[in-house]
Structure 1
């Protein structure tokens, strides 16, 4: 079995992490690798935003504002590093918007696998507020950008219960092209 196959098979989401986090340099290296996903016409229709420290307070205020509340949401404090995943759409007569969003999602997923394989706990979080004006403003999103969620990243707790996800039966999800009758 290859290392990549094993990494994918053992991947899990980590809802609780420690205060440790990868450095900016480690993150840049992993993003360079994740950016190699299939990308029709090499548009690179994505970008990532690193949130640490006080950035999480800004996000917490924006989350509460998006939900019509005052104060600061504690949700961004659940991990020491949040990576905002942004679909940054490019004008193209060949590449539709949905395909560009798929590329951005692919980068985020591959990055989450690479972070996990490097020993970090990762959870991709979304929410009803991801596409709100308050969240877009807090992240400095442009008119052709949308937030796809955040990767919450931190250390894997030593005492964490390592549950295994149910295996996926690939045969249930693979079929052949219907034959003509």
Structure 2
């Protein structure tokens, strides 16, 4: 049976990572609406084992200094200046007999991915950036992370440039990744 394409399916098919963005960014109100929707990902026991930290303006300079410290560099990293808005994705682990740590990290990752899809669909360029320094003490301190938290990376968000380089990833051959139990 062939089913008609849904808006959600088309949005996912159209998604791409934007390594270069303009200086425009969503407002705090626009972002709050999208975060509220992204928080609806599957979440065993409704622990909400995540939080997001918004970095704009001078916050990005502070992060650049923390990355430099983590890397042993004297000059602040310019990486956080690649987008006007960075959203730090934090796994905020909760004590639970039912929900293991890995599952809580999966929820935090799910929220980040859902938010990236929603931002893209709303017309913003987004890329999820990580790096080994996400686990560095200087970077954790700059974000004010607690002992039960880990930084998973940042969503870099800005306007989509008029001239986009590159294209979308090729479609996936589902037959190569779908199987049945032996």
What 5-or-longer segments of structure 1 have no aligned partner?
A: none
Instruction: Give the aligned partner of residue 56 of structure 2.
Output: 52
Q: Distance in 2 between matches of 1:93 and 1:47?
A: 21
After the TM superposition, which of the residue ranges 65-74 and 26-35 deviates more from structure 2?
Answer: 65-74
Identify the match of residue 144 of structure 1 among 131, 143, 148. Answer: 148
The alpha carbon displacement at 1:162 in A equals: 5.3
Deviations 1:109-143 (A, max 9, x none): 00000000000000000001000000000000000
TM-score w.r.t. structure 1 length? 0.97
Instruction: Give the aligned partner of residue 156 of structure 1.
Output: 160
Q: Distance in 2 between matches of 1:42 and 1:171?
A: 33
Q: How many residues align?
A: 178
The alpha carbon displacement at 1:164 in A equals: 2.5
TM-score w.r.t. structure 2 length? 0.96
Q: Distance in 1 between matches of 2:104 and 2:10?
A: 28
Instruction: Give the aligned partner of residue 167 of structure 1.
Output: 171
Q: Distance in 1 between matches of 2:28 and 2:92?
A: 22
Identify the match of residue 66 of structure 1 among 65, 70, 73. Answer: 70
Query: Is 1:17–2:17 an aligned residue pair?
Result: no
What 5-or-longer segments of structure 2 have no aligned partner?
A: none
